[in-house]
């Protein structure tokens, strides 16, 4: 069942968020105690939290739970680990043990409490503290924890909303849940990944400088190419002396020599041409890149693969098709905008379109008079002011040679 | 402070998508629900067509359309719906940019009437399915379900003779200047009526038809008030079916038919009244008027309506067909009054088979009982 799968994933995302919080607190205490931390600590915390979660979910007898916890604590102590790690394990395990004892009294779903976004305050405070104390390692871990916690929270929220949505529609059988979650997932998960990457990139030192350097290098490269091209073209002119290599059949652009010193205005002109061509080339490349990106988005999201699909269900038929637009000749409309007759026609069309959007059922076979009659017959509420006269004028300009003045 | 910048960055994008959806979800978004046929008959099949168009680049991952319609429409299945006083429908769609989804449901119209779907609610959610955007659309879609016909063969021979007599009386006294068409030759047709050119074309004898010299009409009067309130709806529906059947019968015989009733039109709220006419479009008008009958204004107003109609001396001859389950003294007196003025009148009393109205035992051949089948 999809609901179970989503619930399962959301549960374990929540557990991972708890692991992150516990770990960052553990690292904080290590930093405070000026003890070096290893990544085994992360693994230990993850194991302890997972064990505690499984106990909560599957153990229903308090005595058995206590015995299992004691055994687990004994196992941690007896494992061949660093003493600091052992102490960490016992402390974290002990905190979870007492939390679980409190949980045992309450009725309800046997699981960890679902964390809120406000939990990010813990890595944030530790980040602040690390910033002030200059602890680079703790700073980095707090940053990663905070960003990961936020991203995991977004995914968990989305999954919880999906579960809630599925429970809301459980009485409705023909809901296209597969399609909904497939299309939505294709947008939501890249969105979350992009935001996460963006959050990580913010911390990258000199990102802006790197980007500017990249652009400058690209510009210089294209400028170099243009310069070489221009020099090559100039070398083809008859007044140029050709090097010995050229006589023997080879052409080396760098060995071209001008017969006279190059005048400064020519150099300035060539530089200007080179810059213009470079800029235009960069613009063309950017345009090609954006167009390719747009085509990719259009193809991926706008489903250009098919124009029309018909699916026959038990009790209904669905036709999913692309919306096609007619090209409007805006240039003609621009020049003819001043014509009163066309203005009246345009105004009438706008009024009718507005009525349609407000709920009036537009029949294409109606003449303007019939439409007016129908509007009065059904006592349509939102009749535009002066619509009767407008209809009369519209009919005059549309179907006769009447030219109305202002 | 880079962590807070990162968190603000994340919050910005989350709320930006929420804002975009709240602001723009219904731009270039159109929903249209209508019926394939706007006029059908009782028992006919029809289609409910929902068209949802998303004419913009913003995808709508979850769109819910809710509307209500009469429960007399029988659909193939009732998934995604609830039936209480009406048929409440809940449809879900996931619609990508620049797409249109057309969903068609087949249904059967089980009851006559004029049914409107006045509006619908549309709910859209954002990418994270958290925010909910709701909009109500005013939408007028209507279907008119005409009454079914009854089989005239189920009437007694005596009753059919009465109706036949009305038709026959109409066809006497032809006006030779009122040409009405051509028909097949019958043995009693005089030779001077034969249309030789038409006969030569079809190699069979054809004669000219002429309209009658005097104006005649049939008035069908339906009394929506019932004798007792028990099963009033069944009798009312049967009366309407009978009226539609009679109107069809007489109009096919080219006899002008008028309709009067103490029922109110569902749209205008006025008494249902159709003046005499004899063409096919007039039959449709009568059927639509019958379909749109909603309430009744009481027996008193029915008697007034008939009294007013009797004052109309435009026509040389008027035959009344009163269809009324109500049979109290005031209506009986009216019936006798009409009969005493030598005006042709027939009273059809729809009633269940087990009940025999006392008035039908009086030996008056103009009062006929029509057996209504008990739906239970």
Residues B77 and B168 in one domain: no
In the DSSP assignment, the letter for residue B175 is: E
Q: Which of B241, B224, B220 is nearest to B296 (CA)?
A: B224
Tell me which of A170, A204, A238 is where a domain ends.
Answer: A204
**Whether residue A177 is found in the same domain as residue A230:** no
Residue B331 lies in a domain: yes
> Do residues B157 and B52 share a domain?
no
B117 part of a folded domain? yes
B160: in domain:
yes
The confidence score (pLDDT) of residue B170 equals 65
Check if the beta carbon of residue B182 is closer than 8 Å to that of residue B208. yes
Is A279 found in the same domain as A185?
no
**Residues B241 and B315 placed together within one structural domain of the fold:** yes
**Does any domain span residue B129?**
yes
Interface test with chain A among B6, B18, B30, B118, by most A beta carbons within 10 Å: B6
**In angstroms, rounded to a whole number, what is the distance separating the alpha carbons of residues B282 and B248?**
10
Q: What is the DSSP letter of B220?
A: E
Chain A's closest residue to B30, CA to CA, is A357
Helix and strand element counts for chain B (H, E)? 7, 19
Same domain, residue pair B89 and B157:
no
Confidence (pLDDT) at B219: 92
Judge if B353 and B232 occupy the same domain. yes
DSSP of B16-60: HHHHHHHHHTTTTEEEEEEES-SEEETT-EEEEEEEEEE-SSS-E
Residues of B in contact with A321 (CB under 8 A): 99-100, 102
For residue B180, tell me if it sits in a domain.
Answer: no
- Under 8 Å CB-to-CB from B187, ≥6 apart: which residues? none
> A188, A204, A220 — which closes off a domain?
A204
Residue with tokens 């003294």: B329
pLDDT of residue B259: 93
CA distance B49 to B32: 8
- Provide the shortest C-alpha distance from residue B135 to chain A (in Å): 12
Distance CA A185, CA A191 (A): 9
Q: Which residues pair with A322 in a beta bridge?
A: B99
Residue B289 in any domain: the answer is: yes
Nearest to A318 among B34, B101, B119 (CB): B101
Count of structural domains within chain A:
3
Same domain, A175 and A266: no
Mutate to test the interface with A, among B10, B46, B266 (most CBs of A within 10 A): B10
Q: Let me know if residue B364 belongs to a domain.
A: yes
Structural domain for B358, as ranges: 152-173+214-372
Residue A373: other Cβ atoms inside 10 A: 13
Domain annotation covers residue A295: no
Series of mean pLDDT values for 10-residue runs along chain A (406 residues): 80 91 90 82 89 87 88 88 86 87 70 86 89 86 90 91 83 72 84 86 67 75 78 70 43 46 74 81 85 74 63 83 68 57 86 85 86 85 86 86 63
Same domain, A160 and A50: yes
Q: Residue B92's domain is classified under what CATH number?
A: 2.60.40.10
Q: Are residues B92 and B225 in the same domain?
A: no
Task: Please report whether residue A60 resides in a domain.
Answer: yes
Tell me whether residue A309 is in a domain.
no
Which of B100, B105, B119 lies closest to A321 in CB terms? Answer: B100
Q: Give whole-number Cα distances, A122 to A49, A155, A223, B35, in Å.
A: 17, 20, 51, 59
Residues A234 and A192 in one domain: no
Residue A184 lies in a domain: yes
The answer to whether residues A344 and A386 touch, using CB atoms and an 8 Å cutoff, is: no
Give a yes or no: residue A163 inside a domain.
yes
Task: Give me the CATH number covering residue B252.
Answer: 3.40.50.410
> Residue A49 and residue A46: Cα distance in Å, rounded?
5
Measured between beta carbons, the chain B residues lying within 8 angstroms of A169 are: 92
**Into how many domains does chain B fold?**
2
Q: Is the domain of A371 the same as that of A243?
A: no
CB atoms B62 and A198 under 8 Å: no
Query: How high is the pLDDT of residue A246?
Result: 43
Q: What is the pLDDT of residue B117?
A: 85
B90, B125, B130 ranked by CB distance to A172: nearest: B90
Does residue A178 share a domain with residue A196? yes
pLDDT at res. A251? 38
* Ramachandran quadrant class, A107 (left: phi over 0; alpha: psi -120 to 50; beta: rest): beta
Chunked in runs of 10, what are the mean pLDDT values of chain B (376 residues)?
80 89 90 91 92 89 89 82 83 87 92 88 88 83 90 71 70 67 84 89 86 76 84 87 91 88 88 88 92 76 87 79 89 89 88 80 82 71
Q: Is residue A70 part of a domain?
A: yes
The domain in which residue A344 lies consists of 330-399
Q: Hey, which residues does B217 pair with through a beta bridge?
A: B318
Pairwise CB contact (< 8 Å): A303 & B9? no
Q: Which residues of B27-55 are buried (b: 16+ CB within 10 A; e: fewer)?
A: eebebbbbbeeebbbbeeebebbbebbbe
Residue B200 lies in a domain: no
Q: Is A42 helix (H, G, I), strand (E, B) or coil?
A: helix
């Amino acid at each position: 069942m999809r609901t179970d799968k989503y619930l399962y994933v959301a549960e374990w995302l929540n557990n991972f968020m708890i692991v992150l919080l516990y770990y960052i607190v553990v690292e904080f205490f290590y930093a405070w105690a000026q003890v070096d931390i290893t990544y085994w600590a992360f693994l230990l915390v993850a194991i302890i939290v997972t064990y505690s979660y499984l106990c909560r979910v599957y153990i229903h007898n308090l005595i058995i739970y206590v015995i299992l916890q004691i055994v687990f604590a004994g196992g941690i102590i007896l494992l061949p680990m660093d003493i600091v790690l052992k102490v960490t394990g016992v402390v974290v395990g002990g905190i979870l043990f007492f939390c679980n004892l409190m949980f045992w009294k309450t009725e309800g779903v046997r699981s960890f409490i679902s964390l809120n976004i406000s939990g990010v305050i813990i890595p944030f405070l530790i980040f602040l503290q690390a910033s002030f104390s200059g602890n680079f390692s703790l700073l980095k871990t707090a940053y990663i924890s905070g960003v990961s916690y936020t991203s995991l929270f977004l995914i968990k929220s989305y999954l919880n909303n999906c579960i809630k949505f599925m429970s809301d529609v459980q009485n409705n059988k023909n809901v296209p849940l597969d399609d909904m979650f497939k299309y939505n997932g294709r947008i939501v998960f890249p969105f979350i990944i992009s935001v996460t990457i963006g959050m990580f990139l913010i911390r990258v030192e000199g990102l802006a400088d790197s980007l500017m350097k990249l652009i400058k290098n690209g510009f210089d490269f294209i400028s170099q190419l243009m310069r070489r091209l221009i020099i090559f073209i100039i070398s083809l002119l008859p007044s140029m002396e050709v090097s010995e290599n050229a006589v023997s059949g080879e052409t080396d652009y760098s060995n071209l020599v001008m017969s006279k010193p190059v005048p400064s205005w020519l150099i300035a002109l060539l530089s200007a041409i080179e810059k213009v061509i470079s800029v235009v080339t960069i613009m063309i490349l950017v345009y090609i890149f954006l167009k390719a990106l747009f085509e990719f988005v259009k193809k991926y999201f706008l489903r250009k693969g098919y124009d029309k699909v018909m699916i026959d269900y038990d009790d209904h038929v669905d036709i999913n098709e692309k919306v096609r637009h007619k090209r409007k000749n805006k240039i003609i409309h621009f020049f003819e905008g001043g014509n009163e007759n066309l203005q009246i026609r345009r105004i009438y069309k706008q009024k009718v379109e507005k009525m349609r959007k407000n709920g009036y059922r537009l029949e294409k076979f109606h003449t303007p008079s019939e439409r007016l009659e129908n509007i009065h017959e059904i006592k349509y509420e939102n009749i535009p002011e002066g619509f009767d006269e407008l209809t009369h004028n519209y009919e005059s300009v549309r179907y006769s040679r009447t030219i109305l003045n202002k | 402070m880079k962590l807070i910048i990162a968190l603000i960055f994340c919050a910005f994008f989350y709320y930006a998508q929420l804002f975009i959806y709240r602001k723009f979800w219904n731009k270039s978004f159109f929903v249209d629900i209508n019926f394939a046929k706007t006029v059908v008959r009782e028992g006919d099949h029809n289609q409910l067509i929902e068209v949802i168009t998303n004419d913009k680049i913003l995808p709508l991952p979850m769109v819910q359309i809710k509307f209500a319609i009469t429960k007399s429409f029988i659909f193939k299945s009732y998934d995604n719906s609830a039936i209480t006083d009406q048929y409440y429908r809940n449809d879900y769609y996931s619609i990508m940019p620049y797409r249109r989804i057309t969903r068609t449901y087949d249904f059967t119209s089980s009851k006559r009437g004029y049914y409107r779907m006045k509006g619908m609610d549309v709910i859209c959610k954002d990418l994270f399915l958290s925010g909910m955007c709701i909009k109500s659309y005013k939408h007028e879609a209507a279907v008119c379900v005409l009454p079914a016909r009854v089989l005239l063969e189920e009437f007694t021979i005596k009753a059919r003779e009465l109706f036949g007599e009305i038709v026959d009386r109409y066809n006497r006294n032809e006006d030779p200047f009122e040409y009405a068409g051509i028909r097949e030759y019958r043995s009693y047709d005089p030779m001077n009526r034969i249309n030789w050119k038409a006969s030569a074309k079809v190699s069979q004898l054809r004669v000219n038809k002429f309209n009658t010299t005097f104006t005649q009409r049939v008035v069908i009067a339906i009394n929506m008030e019932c004798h007792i309130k028990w099963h009033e709806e069944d009798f009312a529906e049967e009366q309407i079916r009978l009226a539609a059947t009679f109107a069809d019968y007489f109009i096919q015989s080219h006899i002008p038919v008028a309709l009067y009733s103490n029922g109110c039109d569902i749209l205008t709220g006025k008494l249902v009244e159709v003046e005499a006419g004899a063409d096919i479009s007039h039959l449709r008008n009568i059927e639509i008027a019958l379909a749109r009958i909603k309430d009744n204004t009481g027996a008193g107003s029915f008697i007034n309506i008939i009294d007013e109609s009797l004052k109309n001396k435009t026509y040389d001859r008027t035959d009344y067909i009163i269809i009324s389950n109500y049979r109290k003294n005031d209506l009986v007196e009216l019936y006798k009054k009409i009969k005493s003025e030598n005006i042709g009148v027939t009273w059809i009393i729809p009633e269940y088979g087990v009940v025999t109205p006392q008035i039908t035992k009086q030996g008056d051949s103009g009062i006929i009982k029509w057996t209504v089948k008990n739906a239970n």
